Structure 1
Amino acid sequence: MNAPGGPFNFSAELAGRTSRLMIYALLAIILMTLDYRGRWVEQMRHQAGLVVEPAVLLIESPFRLANSIWSALRGRQQLLREIGELRGLLAESSARLLLLEELRRENLELRQLLSASKQPQVAFYPAEIRQVDLNPFSHRVLINRGRRDGVESGQAVIDAYGVVGQVDEVFLHSARVVLLTDPDHALPVAVERTGVRTIAYGSGLNTELRLNDLPMNVDLEASDRLVTSGLGGAFPAGLPVAEVIDVSRKVGEAFARARLRPLGRLDRSRHLLVLEATAAEDEPAQEDDATPSEEASREVQP
């Protein structure tokens, strides 16, 4: 008889392990073959996902609810903060309107004392750029407003930042606008700081205007702002035009020159405004009536 742990028992155990290994390997090969042909594992994974999905959604629902509540509270706080800021801006704007209304009354009284003509009233017509002239030597655009909209040749065109150009040709449903930077365009301007009047010429570059006929001793510095002088009648006085880049006073030349940066976004603005200046009518003095600024200030809640 063989003792326990003898050679016979060892050989039997080894044979049993080998047979089990072969059975497992054969079973693995059979399962891989069936999965390759029938996609069983993928189907089982899909079915398991369908079973587990409701539980996952149930577990995540408190967290999603908490996040939505937090977002709503945070949005409410932000809205309240913005409302407070807007009320402050409205109150400040109303105060500024009150000051401007007082200045307007003083200006009206001074004009009456001096028997001066009243400033023209200005109407704004919104317009949109329809086409840009591809000629690099001609800075002109076509807008979607024409004669049927009241547009006339010579009217000023501005955007939200400053003067853009002037109406050149008018058609029935459109109009062509020559930009300030066109080499053939000239605009009467005045230095905002000193009141010196001069002419700004187009340079042919989208980002530059020029002053060519300045006296050598002119009081002009970099960063000075230029506005329309009102001469010629096409442009109302005070519209922002450009900012001085630098001033050149070369020895031996008769005039000083300056380069300007247009304030209007001539190469980016799509929406423009056409200005129509009309003669101002006499305004009856009504001291007891509330001004629009006073009505606006009453709407501001403390």
Structure 2
Amino acid sequence: MPLGTLDRTPPPFFKQGPSALTRLAFFATLAVFLMVADTRFKLTGPLRSAAALALQPLERSLLAPFEGYTTLSDYFGGIHRAVEGRNQAEHKLAAQAERTMRVEQLERENARLRELLTLRARLQVKSRTAEVLYDSADPYTRKVVIDQGSTQGVALGSPVVDDTGVIGQVTRLYPLTAEVTLVTDKDAAIPVLNTRTQQRGAAFGHPNDGGMELRYMAGNADVQAGDMLQTSGMDGVYPTGLPVAKVLRVDRRADSAFAKIVLAPIARPDSARQVLVLEPLALQLPERPKPVATASDDAASGATTGRPRRPARKGARP
């Protein structure tokens, strides 16, 4: 069929009905009417409710995957946050425990330092504070090293005490440190005085049997368990009245003239940290006066020098 013979006019169906402008005006008016009616009389409220109720299962089914993903994310995120919170709490607890231990240690050190200051005020000798650095490397001795030496004025033989009693004595001196032989060492010896009987003796170190031992006491000596021993001051080293040891037991043996007396140190030789280094008592004693020359000394000096003694003249005064 030739193209020129085709009917290009629209079918009659599209020519029926109102025009487009009429339909626009109609639907605009209807929209305005529905809006006014909904605002004034709430006509579309039940319709919207019915539509929402009918569409709710569909909405829930469409939202289920998203809600499941959100729930799983929140669950695993909560677990991760809980683990992090637990780790942080454990770190804080460990830090607080360490701080508590340091605080307790500092409190104990402060208490010992206060006691040392109180003891220092009571002592009538010069003293300086020191701290124990470490134990001696020799396992067969009882010695420690302190952080004060000859540069700080520590003298050889200086007594070392803590807030409870005698610790030991400086036996080796270095410029910045000093070695202290403890009272429990096998070579240590301290003159002591029994506070109950006022009897003097000598306490020696005996690390294998209670710490110390009171030797050379007669078998019938008046020594009882519980007696307190303190320094007698007879050696010119330790001041008088420093606590040394307590009698643990007394063994009186028939086959020996001496009693075996086991002592326990009053101080803490193996655990002391802060100590006082005292000036030896001999350094505080006045110097001995020089001997006065006499006639016999002059004669003796003349005899030793070979000078003849001039004879006395007759009539001369003696």
The reply on whether 1:215 has 2:250 as its aligned counterpart is: no
Distance (Å, rounded) in 1 between the aligned partners of 2:62 and 2:183: 85
Greater Rg by CA? 2
Contact 2:151 2:175 in 1 (8 A): yes
Instruction: Answer yes or no: is 1:34 the counterpart of 2:39.
Output: no
CA 37–121 in structure 1, closer or farther in 2 if over 3 Å, else same:
closer
Match of 1:279 in 2: 284
Change (3 A) 1:40 1:269: closer
Is the CA contact (8 Å cut-off) linking 1:206 and 1:266 kept in structure 2? no
SS at match of 1:214: coil
Instruction: Look up the match of 1:168.
Output: 171
Aligned residues: 191
Secondary structure in 2 matching 1:245: strand
Report matched runs for 1:33-182 at 5 Å: 33-36=68-71, 39=74, 121-182=124-185
Aligned to 2:3: none
Aligned partner of 1:192 in structure 2 is 195
Partner deviation per Cα, 1:250-275 (whole Å, 9 max, x = no partner):
22222101111101111111011111
Q: Answer yes or no: is the 8 Å Cα contact 2:201–2:215 preserved in 1.
A: no
In the aligned structure 1, how far is the partner of 2:139 from the partner of 2:245? 22
- Larger relative contact order (C-alpha < 8 A, sep ≥ 6)? 1
TM-score, length of structure 1 as denominator length: 0.56
Check the 8 A contact 2:248/2:263 in 1, yes or no: yes
Closer, same or farther: CA 20–200 of 1 in aligned 2, 3 Å: farther
Q: Distance in 1 between matches of 2:257 and 2:210?
A: 26
Gap change, CA 1:216 and 1:206, over 3 Å in 2: closer
For 1:40 and 1:243, the matched residues in 2 are separated by 68
Partner of 2:261: 258
SS in structure 1 opposite 2:264? strand
The answer as to whether partners of 2:224 and 2:249 remain within 8 angstroms in 1 is yes
Instruction: Among all aligned residue pairs of Structure 1 and Structure 2, give the percentage whose two residues are the same amino acid.
Output: 34
C-alpha distance in 1, partners of 2:148/2:174?
Answer: 8
Question: Partners of 2:129 and 2:209 in 1: how far apart?
Answer: 23
1:249 is matched with: 252
CA contact (8 A) 1:128 1:270 kept: yes
Q: 1:194 to 1:27 in 2, by over 3 A?
A: farther
> Partners in 1 of 2:155 and 2:73 — Cα distance?
78
Q: Distance in 2 between the 1:40 and 1:187 partners?
A: 74
Supply the distance in 1 between the matched residues of 2:145 and 2:181 (Cα, whole angstroms). 9
Are the equivalent residues in 1 in contact too, given 2:209–2:262 (CA < 8 A)?
no
Mapped partners of 2:147, 2:214: distance in 1? 32
Provide structure 2 residue ranges, at least 5 long, that are not aligned to the other structure.
1-53, 82-117, 287-318
Aligned partners of 2:76 and 2:242: how far apart in 1? 75
- The AA in structure 1 aligned to 2:197 is T
TM-score by length of 2: 0.53
Compared CA separation, residues 174 and 206, structure 1 to 2 (3 A)? farther
- Listed one character per residue, the Cα deviations across residues 83-114 of structure 1 (whole Å, up to 9, x for unaligned) are xxxxxxxxxx9xxx9xx9xxxxxxxxxxxxxx
Secondary structure of 2:70's aligned partner: helix
CA deviation profile, 1:175-217 (whole Å, cap 9, x unmatched): 1110000011111111111111111111124951111321111
Question: Pairwise CA RMSD of aligned residues?
Answer: 3.4
* Superposition deviation, residue 23 in structure 1: 6.2
Write the mapping of 1:4-23 to structure 2, written as runs, cut at 5 A. none
Distance 1:41 1:121 in 2: 73
Q: Which runs of 5+ in 1 are unaligned?
A: 1-18, 47-92, 101-119, 282-302
